[in-house]
């Protein structure tokens, strides 16, 4: 077993000691040192250190190739007076690749940031939503088993509120984690938006009576909102990074958090947080004007985009407009009928996902999203857990809303009441003629079924294990005796063209320095376990690599793409953690292949047997198209 502390000591001594290291970081296989004087180390001497496999110089970094025990060596290095690099400073192969700015790339970055900020909240959202669902079913609205004045009703009601009211604080943490800012400061920013005195002024509509350093602040209630805090944390990350760079270490503990928040107060409260309200005012005016002249087309368009307006907070102004129209005329003809169709479409994407997905865990979650929506009237779990997570269901959401909205518009179905947001929302169409109620109900059903059908057909990649069910089969589960047996064959971890390791465009992998293996030019975006194994290591921040230990002791490294560690997790989802037991076909990593291409990164999946010296008879198969979980690429 490698003496990781001894390796760390020998490496530091060879590079000029800790005083010559500005900072250090690591990827899956390399200890990355930014040296103050990179002329000191003798590469040949460093290569001779026991436990060191090689050396590379790239992008201003001195890279010591160690292998899968590099995280342990890195921890030892940090105990010897070396500072860790700031998040985002590491890069596979050194310098972070320059982004080619395109409209598509910007849109994908935004979606990735939103998904990374919101999908971790699913346990809170679905948990809180189920309390609301119980209230809807057993409370006074349906079965009436307990009254609104009962302690149980009050308990479940404030538990639900706790899940959604404090969303800015929860999102402050997840958004900061996603973007590499301080999660605690992200929570602090969320807390500022929910400060009781601030909300009290907003409730009193004292808009002209409050300024931030002389700048007028737009006061509104940001509870249950997500976009204001997401924008604020994004800006905060740059402020914090700037201050960390320019404030001396001795003062940074006090002044970085203080000055970060001080600078962010006017940026957040006067500009970014109310941005949805500012933009929403103009969007609302435009859509209402469009509704006056666009007829049924306007209803369809608004129904298609309504949930996006809700997620951005721009719908608030439109809801106020609806209320004014309703109080004046007793009905509303465009916005609210469209909103109800959009809500039904949200139920639909959850239903479609439930019908399409075969992965047991994801299928169960989808059913929970559907129930929390159609019974509890809470659509956020479906929007964030399906729409933003898988992205393509957002297209299905728009299709469902548009189709149902088109029917409602063509039949001139009006809204005569403001009611529930669950299946009882169809009662909003009652109050006029019977035909109005029937057509409004049909429109909502059309929206739900159309969204469900679209999600089923186009919502997922056909080879995604979540829909193929490779990981869901009980037949793949091995009993204890099978797990103890030697592994004879190992399958491909992803579908694509298998190439020899010598063709991988990275000398660390192509020369066999890290062990024998192959590359797979991927046809899809999901990496699965090639056989039953234990997860021995993961890159938690960059999410681009996983180490597996097989039952026979073989150690497999799966490394997605070249130079991808510099993305710091952008475009990646990691489904496992160190110590997990995985089965053949179980999801390990999902990555955004298009994003890698846009950033000029090679997406070749590296598949290595890192302790190949212990298995001289092991043979890799190359030169064929492989199917994940089925095509054998390694035989022992």
Instruction: Catalytic residue, from 23, 26, 27, 412: name it.
Output: 27
Structure tokens at 114: 């939103």
CA dihedral sign, ordered 310, 314, 316, 318: negative
The active-site residue out of 26, 315, 544, 559 is 559
In terms of Cβ atoms closer than 10 Å to its own Cβ (0-12, 13-18, 19+), residue 135 is buried
Helix (H) or strand (E) holding 339: helix 335-356
Q: What span, in angstroms and rounded, lies between the C-alpha atoms of 496 and 525?
A: 10
Strands (E), 36-181: 54-58, 61-65
Residue 514 CA to residue 534 CA, distance in Å, equals: 20
CA angle (582, 584, 585) in 5-degree steps = 100
- Please name every residue paired with 589 in a beta bridge, in sequence order, or none if there are none: 527, 574
Task: Give the C-alpha separation, 203 to 196, whole Å.
Answer: 10
Distance CA 130, CA 613 (A): 53
H runs (alpha helix) in 149-295: 151-165, 167-179, 183-193, 196-203, 227-246, 249-267, 275-294
Q: Does 444 qualify as catalytic in the annotation?
A: no
Dihedral sign, CA of 172, 177, 179, 181?
positive
Instruction: Report which secondary-structure segment, H or E, holds 521.
Output: strand 516-522
Measured CA to CA, the distance from residue 510 to residue 504 in angstroms comes to: 5
Tell me the β-bridge partners of 635: 489, 619
**How many degrees, rounded to 5, is the angle at CA 360 between CA 357 and CA 363?**
45
Taking the C-alpha atoms of residue 258 and residue 247, their distance in angstroms, rounded to an integer, is 12
**Angle, alpha carbons 174-280-422 (nearest 5°):** 70
Q: Tell me the chain's radius of gyration from C-alpha atoms.
A: 28
Q: Angle 350-354-357 (CA atoms, 0-180°, nearest 5)? A: 125
List, in sequence order, every residue forming a beta bridge with 549; answer none if it has no partner. Answer: 534, 555
Compute CA distances 585 → 127, 490, 630, whole Å.
Answer: 29, 11, 9
| C-alpha to C-alpha distance for 369 and 361, rounded to whole angstroms | 13
27 catalytic per annotation: yes
Structure token digits, residue 213: 């350093």
Q: Which residues contact 44 (CB under 8 A, 6 or more apart)?
A: none
DSSP state of 268: I
Q: Which two tokens mark 78?
A: 């940090």
- Looking at the chain, the number of H-run helices and the number of E-run strands are 24, 20
> Could you list the active site residues?
27, 559
């Amino acid at each position: 077993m490698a003496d990781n502390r001894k390796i760390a000591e020998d490496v530091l001594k060879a590079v000029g000691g800790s005083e010559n290291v500005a900072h250090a970081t690591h990827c899956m296989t390399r200890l990355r040192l930014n040296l103050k004087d990179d002329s000191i180390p003798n590469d040949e001497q460093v290569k001779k250190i026991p436990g060191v496999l090689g050396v590379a110089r790239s992008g201003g970094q001195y890279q010591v190739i160690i292998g899968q025990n590099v995280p342990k060596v890195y921890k030892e290095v940090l105990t010897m007076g070396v500072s860790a690099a700031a998040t985002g400073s590491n890069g596979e192969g050194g310098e972070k690749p320059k982004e080619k700015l395109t409209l598509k790339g910007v849109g994908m970055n935004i979606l990735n940031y939103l998904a990374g900020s919101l999908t971790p909240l699913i346990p809170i959202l679905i948990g809180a939503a189920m309390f609301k669902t119980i209230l809807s079913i057993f409370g006074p609205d349906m079965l009436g088993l307990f009254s609104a004045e009962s302690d149980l009703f009050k308990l479940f009601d404030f538990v639900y509120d706790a899940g959604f009211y404090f969303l800015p604080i929860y999102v402050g943490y997840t958004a900061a984690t996603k973007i590499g800012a301080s999660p605690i400061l992200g929570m602090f920013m969320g807390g500022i938006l929910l400060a009781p005195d601030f909300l009290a002024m907003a409730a009193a509509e004292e808009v002209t009576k409050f300024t931030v350093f002389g700048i007028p602040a737009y006061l509104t209630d940001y509870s249950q909102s997500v976009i204001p805090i997401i924008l604020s944390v994004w800006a905060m990350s740059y402020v914090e990074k700037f201050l960390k760079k320019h404030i001396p270490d001795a003062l940074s503990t006090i002044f970085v958090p203080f000055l970060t928040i001080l600078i962010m107060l006017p940026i957040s409260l006067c500009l970014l947080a109310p941005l949805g309200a500012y933009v929403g005012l103009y969007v609302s005016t435009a859509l209402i004007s469009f509704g006056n002249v666009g007829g049924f087309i306007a209803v369809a368009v608004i129904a298609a985009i309504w949930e996006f307006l809700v997620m951005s907070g721009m719908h608030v102004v439109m809801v106020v407009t609806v209320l004014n129209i309703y109080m004046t005329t007793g009905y509303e003809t465009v916005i609210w009928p469209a909103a109800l169709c959009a809500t039904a479409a949200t139920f639909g994407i959850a239903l479609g996902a439930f019908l399409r997905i075969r992965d047991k865990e994801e299928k169960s979650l989808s059913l929970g999203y559907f129930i929390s929506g159609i019974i509890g009237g809470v659509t956020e779990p479906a929007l964030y857990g399906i729409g933003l997570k898988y992205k393509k269901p957002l297209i299905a959401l728009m299709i469902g809303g548009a189709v149902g909205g088109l029917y409602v518009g063509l039949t001139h179905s009006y809204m005569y009441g403001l009611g529930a947001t669950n299946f009882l929302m169809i009662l909003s169409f009652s109050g006029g003629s019977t035909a109005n109620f029937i057509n409004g109900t049909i429109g909502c059903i059309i929206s739900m079924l159309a969204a469900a059908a679209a999600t089923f057909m186009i919502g997922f990649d056909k080879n995604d294990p979540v829909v193929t069910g490779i990981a869901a089969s009980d037949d793949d589960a091995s009993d204890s005796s099978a797990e103890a047996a030697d592994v004879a064959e190992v399958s491909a971890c992803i579908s694509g063209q298998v190439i020899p390791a010598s063709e991988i465009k990275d000398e660390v992998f192509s020369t066999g320095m890290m062990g024998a293996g192959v590359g797979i030019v991927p046809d899809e975006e999901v990496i699965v376990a090639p056989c039953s194994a234990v997860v021995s290591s993961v890159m938690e921040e960059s999410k681009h690599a996983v180490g597996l230990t097989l039952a026979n002791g073989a150690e497999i490294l799966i490394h997605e793409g070249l130079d991808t560690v510099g993305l710091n997790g952008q475009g990646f989802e990691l489904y496992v953690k160190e110590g997990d037991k995985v089965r053949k076909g179980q999801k390990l990593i999902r990555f955004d292949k298009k994003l890698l291409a846009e950033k000029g990164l090679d997406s070749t999946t590296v598949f290595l047997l890192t302790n190949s010296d212990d298995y001289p008879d092991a043979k890799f198969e190359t030169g064929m198209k492989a199917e994940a979980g089925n095509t054998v690429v390694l035989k022992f």
